[in-house]
Amino acid sequence: MPRRKGAPEVNAGSMADIAFLLLIFFLVTTTIETDAGLDRMLPPIEPPEEDVIIRQKNIFTVNINKNGQLLVEDELMNLKNLRSAAIGFLENNADGSCTYCKGKKDPGSSDNPTKAIISLKNDRETKYSTYITVQNELVGAYNDLRNREAQRLYQRDFTDMESEYLNPETPSSVRDELKDKVKRIQDMFPQKLSEADTSTN
């Protein structure tokens, strides 16, 4: 009986073609997602039990009209100046209780950062892009202040610390350490950005 040959070798020459085919399919269907954006919390629909009395000077009102113009504290303002105005309001520190603020201590403006509230109102016909720009500037004002304090205390940016803290790939030992730092900076400048109901007129 003739000796049987081993199994014939499979020709792998077309493997590259098959792999290319698959590769091209995935290349075409790929969309590397760029999902990022401004995180916001909406106010709960039930009004709070007791009415909290907030003094007018602790509220920083920003109104956007349908043409995209800004009315800040009853004065027309250019969007480019909004961030610095918001920073000035937040760290004004009229009652002197905030030791890390560098504000002007103007008695007609906010008492301290924990009491300062920014109220954003918009018209129904305001363009979404304008609204996002304003939101971005206001969030930016908070982030600027928080970054400044984080640099002073921990020699790194708050936004950097926060994104590392929120990143699920960060090891939990690092995260626990960051948690207190992030919390501390957040408490220094709590983000109080109220989105009131839109004016209808």
Partner 1 sequence: MAKFTKKKEGDLPAVSTASLPDIVFMLLFFFMTVTTMKDSSLLVENTLPNATEIKKLEKKDRVIYIFVGKPTQEYQKVFGSEPRIQLNDKFANVDEVGSYILAERAKKPQELQNVLTTALKVDKNANMGLITDIKQELRKVNALKVNYTTYEGDAFNNLQ
Give contact residues for partner 1 (rule: CB under 8 A).
12, 15-16, 19-20, 22-23, 26-27, 29-45, 68, 79-80, 122-133, 135-137, 139-140, 143, 159, 162-163, 166-168, 195, 197-198
Nearer to partner 1 (CB atom), residue 3 or residue 124: 124
Q: How far is the CB of 150 from partner 1 (least distance, A)?
A: 15
**Least separation in angstroms between CB 81 and partner 1:** 12
**Pair type for strands 193-195 and 117-122:** parallel
Q: Select from 94, 90, 201, 67 the least CA-distant residue to 137.
A: 90
- Classify the phi-psi angles of 94: left when phi > 0, otherwise alpha if psi is within -120 to 50, otherwise beta: alpha
Distance between CA 92 and CA 110 in Å, rounded?
6
Residue with smaller CB distance to partner 1, 105 or 131 = 131
- Nearest CA among 70, 134, 60 for reference residue 103: 60
Q: Which is nearer to partner 1, 125 or 177 (CB)?
A: 125
- Sequence-separated (6 or more) residues with CB below 8 Å from residue 102: 91
Nearer to partner 1, 129 or 173 (CB): 129
Output the CA torsion sign for 96, 100, 101, 102. Answer: positive
To the nearest whole angstrom, how small is the minimum distance from the Cβ of residue 33 to partner 1? Answer: 6
Q: Which is closer to partner 1, CB of 78 or CB of 97?
A: 78
| Minimum distance, C-beta of residue 58 to partner 1, in the bound complex (Å) | 23
For the CB of residue 200, give the shortest distance to partner 1 in the complex, in Å.
9
Residues contacting 113, CB < 8 A, separation 6+: 90, 91, 93, 98, 101, 145, 188, 189, 190
